[in-house]
Every structure is written in structure tokens, then in C-alpha cells.
Structure 1
Amino acid sequence: MKNYLLLFTICCTLIQCKNPIKKENTIHTEQSKSMQQLKSDFIAQRFGMFICYNIMSYGAKWGEANYPIEAFNPQKLDCNQWAEAAKSAGMKFGLLTTKHHEGFCLWDSKFTTYDVASTPYKKDIVKQYVDAFRKKNLGVGLYYSIWDSTHNIDKDSITSNKLDFVKGQITELLTNYGKIDYFVMDGWYWKIGHHEIPYHEIRTLIRKLQPDCLITDHTHLQAPYHMEIPYFEGPFGAFPKPGNKMASALGHCSVKGNGWFWSEKTPNGLIEGDGIETILNKLTTCEKRYCNFMLNCMPNRDGLLDTIYIDLLKNIGSTWQPDTLRPKLPKQAPQILESIPIKSINTTSGNAEHLFDARQEGTDHFHWESNTSFPQTITLDLGKLEHLNTLLIVPNHRCKPAPETALELGNLTEAKLYISEDRHAFKEIAHEHWEANSTYKTISFNNSKARYIKLEILNAVGERAIISELEVGRSKKN
């Protein structure tokens, strides 16, 4: 028996030696920095390259399902060229579209054959990108669209298998490429909603795999609702307002293309009225407002940046210098780090359903709007007793027509907050007053155990209260 045990031990040792753990895939198992420090480090980067490269670069229309991938064969692809160009401009990080809405993956995903491994090119582009950018000491971000037209990951169609598909692909991206600094999701809040694909499950997964990775979802809401770094959509005219203290990022397009992606117009065409002065002005203004500026740079069908980008980025690098006298990032408002799902909502007026899970059709957003009398109450049922200490209130906002922005009208100026374990005995835990502006509101309170949360709105800007979303959960001190 001892001989069998010895033989088994030797075999196990040989297997481990044959498959050593790669150092690049070693990541922290616990968050090593506070959220305040992670955000400060991110904002210190200031300038990044948004690399929009995917099947739309080869002619697919926005959201087109099952576009043929046989033409995807970028034999000259050189991620080192991208990284060198980013470095020449003074950029500090990159963000690559690993999968856009059309569902094509730039890595070999075991969950689909609609990926780079099934094309004539075959090689893993995500790995080439992260290796090239790390070699230049640049931060690494990955973009991943949860909405996926080819695999029918869409609103009102999510099954347990489709949720496993999403989680599986996120796990691949956050396991196989070492430490990821910034993970951006899209086509989730505005297309599917954070309940059908549960936000708390996705965030818990990301936190488990990459504890120090900052998260963005393209919600179009100018508040840290279900994310850590809010995003401003440049082509929609979204822009951080004067005095903004919210750590955030903005994506900007300067060169013509197929939306955000390369087309035959790209090599010769800046967008009308755009150019280096526009870029420098936006970059400088974003920097002052604690918003990282990400310039879209679209590789062509050979996998290279056209000369128009190489020249533009060198020109920016020889002109722009970061403002080293900018004060450090102000202390951020309490961040909900563990979001608690809301089971149901009741309101004294208005349509309570509009407070729940991205009520949106196309570009029309449906916000909750009270009648003209105050006070108004909103009661949340969490479904069970939970420990909590923070409520986030997202203000009225406009997506289209541009400019996309948070709106002052309807935003709360005074409210009380109550909690209850049984919906009968409510205890007042906060009474807040806010300035009349478009800034999102948070209510922080001592750690409490409750199932029901009642928000009593005493006043708002204008005759009615308007709220886009509510989030409740637990935060840690930044």
C-alpha cells in the first residue's frame, strides 16, 4: 500500500511540474488598496487609448448577428505598434474591445466558436495586447459587451445557461491574462438590465477574480450606480461638469469610421470640426475635472494603426503635458461595494416600475416621477433581512438628444430615511438636505439590519421628484 501511495505522490508531482502556474496569471486574492486609493491611482493616469477593434472593423453593422468572420485575418497585426503609439502621446493605459455587441471574441473562448480561433488568423489578440502594453509599462483595461446578438444574450431571454455563458467568458478574461486594472462592460444596464443578469453576482465574480480591478458599465447614468468609474459617452455629447469631483472616464472619437470602428474612411478622415486642438482642449478640461480621457484609436484590417493616428498621437505627445499641480482626488462619496438586490418597490405616486432595472426602450428612459405634492414615499423590499449602510439616489438624466447629461430638475433637496424589519415599525435613521443641483445623492448611516427601506421625499427641484435608479447596499470607508 505504501508503494502505491509513493507512486501516486510522484505522479502528482510530475503533473504539477509539467503544468506550472504562470506568474502572469497570479493575482491578489484580496483587495490590496482602499477604493479611494484605487480611484486615485486610476485618475492619476489621465490619458488612455480606447482600442476599438472587432468584427465591425471588417464591415459588420452595429449589433449585427452572425456576421461572417472568414475575412478576419490581420496578418500584419502588431500590438507593439499600438503600445508604442500610445506611449508617444503620453497615454498611460489601454482599453481593448475584447467582444463587442456582435459577439465576436478576440480570444479563444471555450464557450463559442465565434471567435478569433475560428478565423484564418487564429492567434489570441487579447494576450498580444496585454503583453505589448505591459512591456511599455502601460495599464491594461478590457472591454466586454454583455449584450451579444450572435448568442442571443438579450433582454427577456436570459436563462441559467446564458448567465453561465456570460460568467464563463468574464472568468476567462479575468483569469488568463494576469492583473487587469480596468474592466468595462456594455450593453448591460441599457439593453438587458441589472436584474435579469444580476449585478451583484457579476460584481462578486469580478471581485473574486480581480479584487483590485475597477469596474465600469456603460449605463449612461452620471453616477456610480452599479459601478466604480462612471463613463461619459463623448459622441453623445456627455461631459463632466465644472467642479466635478467624481472619478470617471470619457471616451472620444476624432477620426471617421464605422461607428467606433475602422472603415475605409478612417485613413483620411478626421471628424468635421475635430483635430488636435479639440483633443487637447477636452483632455485638459477632463484632467481638471478628475475624468480620464480615452481617445478612440481604431486599428485597420491589417491590425495596424493608420498613419493618421501615428502622426496625431506623436503631435499630442509633443504638445501636452500632465498638470502635476492638480490637487489629489477629493475624498469620494460612500461607494456601495456590496449591492443588495431589490425584490419590489412601492410608491405613493408615479409608476414604481420605472425605478426598477433600466426601464428603457431604445433611447427613451422611463424615470420615476412623483405627483406635485410632498411628502412622497418610496418603500423598498429586499426580500429578507440584510445588513446595510448606504442608499444611492440617481438623478433625472437625458440620453438623447445630445448632450447626454444629468439634470437638475426633479433632483432631491431634502429627504428622510427609515428602516424596518417587519414593515410595521419604521425607525428614522437619516434626515438629509442637499443643494439644488444635478449631482447624485447618497445617504450613509450606521450599519443596520433591515428588510424594508422607506425614503420619504420632502422636497425636490421643481414641483415633482424624479429618480432614475435607487441602489442600496453596504459600503466600506474609503
Structure 2
Amino acid sequence: MKNNKIKHRTINIVTVLVLFVSLMQCKKSQSTSIKEEVSDSKKTLYQLQSEFIDQRFGMFICYNIMSYGAYWGEANYPITSFNPQKLDCNQWADAAISAGMKYGLLTTKHHEGFCLWDSKYTEYDVASTAYKKDIVKQYVDAFRERNLGIGLYYSIWDSTHNVVKDSIDDTKLQFIKGQLTELLTNYGKIDYFVIDGWFWRMGHNEVPYHEIRDLIRELQPECLITDHTHLQAPYHMEIPYFEGPLGAYPPEDNTMATTLGHCSLKGNGWFWNEETPNGMKPNDGVDVVVEKLKTCEIRYCNFMLNCMPNRDGLLDTIYINMLSEIGKKWQADTTRKALPNDKVQVAVSVPIKSVEASSGIADYLIDSRQVEGGNFNVWESDSKYPQNIVMDLGEVQKDLDVLVIVQNHRSIPPPQIALAEGNVTKCKLYASVDNINYEEVAFQTWKPDANYRAMGFKKSVARYLKLEILEANGASAIINELEVGKTSY
């Protein structure tokens, strides 16, 4: 009898151990499933961009507390009115399919700080309303069930939680990272992540681009990023964004993978208000959308049509009819050539710790951002050449092979455009490990135009890069910002 008890106890212990190991493996499998799902494919940045551009048409779902009357960037707007009892994300998804759309983009949190999911970092969220249910999950489930791509929008600038310029400390940075982690781990694979209120509001230094990008890539290795920089170049992102209502539009010769947001109906900015159900903007409509969609398609620019759910959580009839009509009039042009792969682009960005220049305000080269009035702090040289810019990366880096020179831009007044004035037309690049001995690694010339400028150079080990500007278009050289990195992961 005693031996049987010992034997029985041994079996129980073994069983518990087996169950424990199985649970741990299951937990590990769940936590890494997204990484494993994409790590096997080893897609390049170009492949991911090509797949995104092949989607062509998406639904920008602007729905948040501004839909209930908050003004743009208003802090602590009461959320008592948020109770969309008829909310139906399946209706949104079916409407998207009727138009020929291939993905969605939901405003999970706008500048006012209200979250459409239950965030453990705040009570200013949907869980604190009478509605309570997770809208991000409902959206993801509905769109994924119909094989539509999943995009999430998140504003770093947050007026309610005082995440604003010149106030970012470790606590606020952890707040941002914590919310990003929630969005990028709780809803399966995310294809496209859009950040707003970042570069243009506070720059990419105070909320460090590299830390945010590394976090997103760790959690979602194949998630493409857009930041609403208002710069028409892939600077610190993979998909530049054209702000349609501000007149931004891809040029005829565009070969970058880009996207454009368009809003056809009146509302509270991009969000619903009482005018929306019958509030088509002047000179807009189905035919206008179809023509813009065709033009964007030719120019390798995804077209995202803003669709604003109402306070019941439904798309108004005007949208349902409009999307159905678009679907009848537009079909993807399958004869369009593949996305060109003729420009180098940063896949892994390396921080520039400090910079010196032979003239102008050097700090603007690594911390431009928009300023009062809507335009940018840009570096502008004097009229003498050559101009020398020395970038210190803080430590020796391996496999460096690309430098992005963000061209001169105008944001205000509309239209937002890239400018030819001041753009570098001839330059050399040198690399060094000690800031004494430099090796020339690239020589580059460009036409005097407004096109995206990037210098590819032989893979180098360096801490310092020196850009020698020999010629520019105009009386002086003008650069919005610089980015250094690697063309492959």
C-alpha cells in the first residue's frame, strides 16, 4: 500500500511537471507567435512596401472623442456622451469591400488622448464609458475576418495626459511605450501603424525615434510605419504621407511607396458632426474620388478615403451609397508596373548624437520639427562652398550604407510641397572612426529639383560621417534634417 501511494504521488508530480512545461511552452508560443509568423518569411523592406502599394485603396476610419464634439486637441473633453450602442464594425468592413478597399486604418487614440481600447495606463478610455467594449478588437476582428489588412493610428501628442513638447520624461515615455505595446500585442498581426503628433509637434528626439521604432519592430517585425511628418520623403518612416486636405499630392514622377488621405464629407475636422450625413464638400463626390484614386494608383500612392462613423457607431447612408458607387466605377489597374526599386532607403536608422556645420544652425539638422506658423526650422548655409557637416553617431557603428538628406519643404500655406530651393545638387561623403582620418565613401550629384535625396555608399564602419556640399540649387544650401542608417535589417 505504501509503495502504491509513493508510485501514485510520483505519477502526480510527473503529471504536474508535464502540465507546467506544456503551459509554459504554450505561453511562450502565444507571446512569440507574431514574431514567428513573420520571421520565417524574412521579407525585405521593398517587399513589404510593394505588398502595401498593391492594396491601393483603404478606409481611414476617423472615429474618436472628436466625433462627439471635442475640438481639435481639446484636453479632458467629457466622455459621458460616448455610448455607441449600435456600433457595428462589420458594417464598416462590408462597406469597405463594396468599394474595393483592401485595408482599414482606425484612430485608436487621437490628439485628445481618448483610447478606443481598455488601456491600463489611463481611465480616459472606452472602458470608463457606458459603452465599455473594446472597439479596437471589434474593428480588427471584423476586418480580419474579411481578409482586409489591419492598420492602427496612434497620436503621441496627447493633450489630456500632457504628453507635449518640452515635457517628456521617463514616466511619459513609458506611458507611450506601454500603450504602443498594448496595441501591438493584443490584436494579432498589425500591417500598418500610423503615428501622428510626433515629428511635426515635438520632433523625433524628445520622444526618441529609434526607441519607438525598435519597439514596434520587436513586437511587429513586418509592420510598416507612417509618421505624419508633413515631409514628402521617407524620413524616419517607411511610407510617406500626403495630407490631401492640405493640398499635398504625389508628383507625376513619384516612385516612393506613399499614401494619401482624402476627406469628401464635411465634419468636425476629420471626424463626424451634424453636417456629415448630408455634407459633401464642394466639388467632391464619387467621380472626384475615382479620378484621385486612379491618379494615386499610377503614382504608387495608396489612397485612403476618410469614412467617419456617427455617434451610434455606424457609417451614415451617404457613405454606404458612396462606397458602393465607387466600387462600381473603379477597378485596380493590374497592368501597372511593379513598384520601382531604384532608390536607397533606410531600413535601420542610427541616431545622430550631435552635429557640427561650417555655417548655419547645426542643431536643426537633427531636430527640425514644425514651428509656430506651420513651417520648419531648417538648416541654411551661407553662400560659400564647400559646406561641411560632421555627424557624430556617439559610437562606432557597423554596416552603415545610406544617408538621407531631407529636402526643403513648405507646410503652410497649403499646398504642402517639397521645394527645389536650396536642395543639394553635388556632394561627397566621408567616413571616420576617430574624426581625424576620413575616407571618401560616396560622390553624388542630383538634378536641381525637389525629389527625395538619399546617398547610398559602400558598407562602412564609422562613428563620424562628413558631408561635403559642393553645390546647391540657389544662393545657399537648405536641409530639413539628416538621417543615417543601413539599407537592410
Confirm or deny a common fold (TM above 0.5). yes
- Paired AA for residue 454 in structure 2: T
2:446 is the alignment partner of 1:438: no
2:483 match: 471
CA contact (8 A) 2:38 2:222 kept: no
- Paired AA for residue 436 in structure 2: H
Report how far residue 9 of structure 1 moved.
1.6
Once the two structures are overlaid, the 10-residue window that deviates more, 417-426 or 71-80, is 417-426
State the SS of the aligned residue for 2:67: helix
For residues 252-286 of structure 1, give each alpha carbon's deviation from its aligned partner in whole angstroms, at most 9, with x where no partner exists: 01100000000011011011121112211111100
2:20 is the alignment partner of 1:12: yes
State the SS of the aligned residue for 1:110: coil
1:179 match: 189
1:451 match: 463
Once the two structures are overlaid, the 10-residue window that deviates more, 330-339 or 91-100, is 330-339
CA contact (8 A) 1:392 1:443 kept: yes
2:165 match: 155
Q: How far apart, CA to CA, are the structure 1 residues paired with 2:219 and 2:206?
A: 22
2:86 is the alignment partner of 1:81: no
| Structure 1 unmatched runs, 5+ | none
1:261 match: 271
- Paired AA for residue 200 in structure 1: H
State the SS of the aligned residue for 1:274: coil
1:218 match: 228
Q: How far apart, CA to CA, are the structure 2 residues paired with 1:176 and 1:45?
A: 24
Q: 1:171 to 1:431 in 2, by over 3 A?
A: same
For residues 67-122 of structure 1, give each alpha carbon's deviation from its aligned partner in whole angstroms, at most 9, with x where no partner exists: 11111100000000000000000111100000001111101111111110110000
Which is higher, the Rg of structure 1 or of structure 2?
Answer: 2
Match 1:378 to one of 382, 389, 398: 389
Matches within 5 A, 1:228-243: 228-243=238-253
Report how far residue 5 of structure 1 moved.
5.2
- Paired AA for residue 423 in structure 1: N
Number of aligned residue pairs: give it.
477
| Structure 2 unmatched runs, 5+ | 1-5
CA RMSD of aligned residues (A): 2.0
Q: How far apart, CA to CA, are the structure 2 residues paired with 1:244 and 1:167?
A: 34
2:180 is the alignment partner of 1:170: yes
Once the two structures are overlaid, the 10-residue window that deviates more, 425-434 or 220-229, is 425-434
2:203 is the alignment partner of 1:193: yes
2:72 match: 62
Q: 1:29 to 1:312 in 2, by over 3 A?
A: closer
Q: How far apart, CA to CA, are the structure 1 residues paired with 2:212 and 2:262?
A: 27
State the SS of the aligned residue for 1:364: coil
Q: How far apart, CA to CA, are the structure 1 residues paired with 2:33 and 2:22?
A: 21
State the SS of the aligned residue for 1:191: helix
2:293 match: 283
Q: 1:74 to 1:332 in 2, by over 3 A?
A: farther
Report how far residue 137 of structure 1 moved.
1.3
Q: 1:133 to 1:359 in 2, by over 3 A?
A: closer
- Paired AA for residue 229 in structure 1: I
CA contact (8 A) 2:34 2:219 kept: no
Q: How far apart, CA to CA, are the structure 2 residues paired with 1:36 and 1:13?
A: 40
CA contact (8 A) 1:24 1:178 kept: no
1:352 match: 362
- Paired AA for residue 378 in structure 1: I
Q: 1:306 to 1:413 in 2, by over 3 A?
A: same
Q: 1:83 to 1:255 in 2, by over 3 A?
A: same
CA contact (8 A) 2:347 2:486 kept: yes
CA contact (8 A) 1:24 1:177 kept: no
Report how far residue 25 of structure 1 moved.
6.3
For residues 389-408 of structure 1, give each alpha carbon's deviation from its aligned partner in whole angstroms, at most 9, with x where no partner exists: 11000100000101101001
2:414 match: 402
Report how far residue 32 of structure 1 moved.
2.9
State the SS of the aligned residue for 2:321: helix
For residues 314-333 of structure 1, give each alpha carbon's deviation from its aligned partner in whole angstroms, at most 9, with x where no partner exists: 11011111111111111152
Q: 1:21 to 1:303 in 2, by over 3 A?
A: farther
1 or 2, which has the higher helix percentage?
Answer: 2
CA contact (8 A) 1:143 1:184 kept: yes
2:87 is the alignment partner of 1:52: no
Q: How far apart, CA to CA, are the structure 1 residues paired with 2:250 and 2:466?
A: 31
For residues 374-430 of structure 1, give each alpha carbon's deviation from its aligned partner in whole angstroms, at most 9, with x where no partner exists: 111111111111121110001000001011010011111100001111111121111
* TM-score for both structures, normalised by structure 2: 0.94
1:369 match: 380
Q: 1:120 to 1:19 in 2, by over 3 A?
A: farther
- Paired AA for residue 299 in structure 2: R
Report how far residue 206 of structure 1 moved.
0.8
Q: How far apart, CA to CA, are the structure 1 residues paired with 2:471 and 2:253?
A: 24
Q: How far apart, CA to CA, are the structure 1 residues paired with 2:168 and 2:366?
A: 17
State the SS of the aligned residue for 1:190: helix
Q: 1:15 to 1:427 in 2, by over 3 A?
A: closer
Q: How far apart, CA to CA, are the structure 1 residues paired with 2:147 and 2:395?
A: 47
- Paired AA for residue 385 in structure 1: V
2:3 match: none
- Paired AA for residue 405 in structure 1: I
Report how far residue 435 of structure 1 moved.
1.4
